[in-house]
């Protein structure tokens, strides 16, 4: 399965239309025969999940039946989403940054489904890697989650090999995820497992059963296009 993640920023005057898009985009995505799974999500303000959402910025994740390939034309958004969403984003003058991804390792479920299909986990990937860590937090564990996880996640941006991240969520507080990009798998692992605070939080989540559902995915990055906050984070990396 091939995956796209698009981060879109609206201008302040268009924020009401950004809210509306999270409802209206469902129809063209449902009827897009190339898309087998999608999520329309809000984002955090600080490159990770956040109690306060960034109302200018939104995210769309899609799982595609066919591989998406970069080309030199101006219709990449149309290739990813179809005409309606592409024209909507262009009309409102949004900044849209899209990553083309290929899952290489998956653990867990999303909405009780293997949304990325059956993956033969590749533990020998070399080069840049993107990760998606998501969870549905139990109501009774919300206080523990935000007290312990958020402060550690905020240290990610200073970790060796860190390139880019964004916090995405299906619903405020409860269904949260972090998408991040790293120079190497080793850099990602060093942050995840060698930082004492982070490894302790991982242990707590399992022992105290904070999540009713969780998922961890690694992706190979096949390309990116567009800009967010005026830049393409991978412009000089790929």
Question: Where do the domains of the chain lie?
Answer: 2-226
Specify the pLDDT at position 116. 92
The pTM for the full model equals: 0.92
Specify the pLDDT at position 106. 94
Specify the pLDDT at position 236. 56
Compute φ and ψ for 42, nearest 5 degrees: -85, 175
CATH architecture for residues 2-226? 2-Layer Sandwich (3.30)
Q: Break the chain down into helix, strand, coil percent, rounded to 5.
A: 30, 40, 30
Specify the pLDDT at position 20. 96
For the chain, 238 residues long, the average pLDDT of each consecutive 10-residue run is 94 96 96 96 82 91 92 83 96 96 94 89 87 93 82 81 92 88 93 76 85 94 93 75
**Burial (CB count <10 Å: 0-12, 13-18, 19+), residue 128:** buried
What tokens does 162 get?
């860190």
């Amino acid at each position: 399965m091939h995956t796209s993640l698009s981060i879109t920023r609206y201008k302040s005057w268009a924020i009401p239309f950004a809210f509306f898009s999270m409802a209206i985009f469902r129809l063209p995505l449902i009827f897009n025969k190339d898309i087998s799974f999608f999520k329309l999500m809000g984002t955090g303000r600080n490159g990770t999940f956040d109690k306060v959402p960034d109302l200018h910025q939104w995210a769309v994740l899609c799982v595609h039946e066919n591989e998406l390939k970069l080309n030199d034309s101006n219709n990449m958004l149309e290739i990813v989403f179809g005409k309606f969403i592409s024209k909507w984003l262009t009309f409102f003058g949004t900044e849209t940054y899209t990553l083309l991804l290929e899952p290489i390792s998956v653990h867990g479920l999303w909405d009780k489904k293997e949304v990325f299909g059956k993956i033969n986990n590749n533990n020998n990937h070399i080069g840049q890697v993107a990760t998606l860590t998501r969870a549905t937090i139990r109501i009774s564990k919300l206080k523990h989650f935000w007290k312990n996880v958020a402060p550690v996640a905020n240290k990610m941006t200073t970790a060796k090999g860190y390139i880019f991240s964004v916090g995405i969520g299906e619903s405020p507080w409860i269904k949260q995820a972090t998408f991040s990009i790293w120079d190497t798998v080793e850099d990602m692992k060093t942050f995840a497992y060698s930082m004492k605070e982070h490894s302790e939080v991982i242990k707590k989540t399992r022992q105290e059963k904070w999540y009713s559902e969780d998922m961890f995915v690694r992706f190979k990055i096949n390309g990116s296009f567009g800009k967010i906050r005026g830049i393409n984070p991978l412009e000089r990396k790929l």
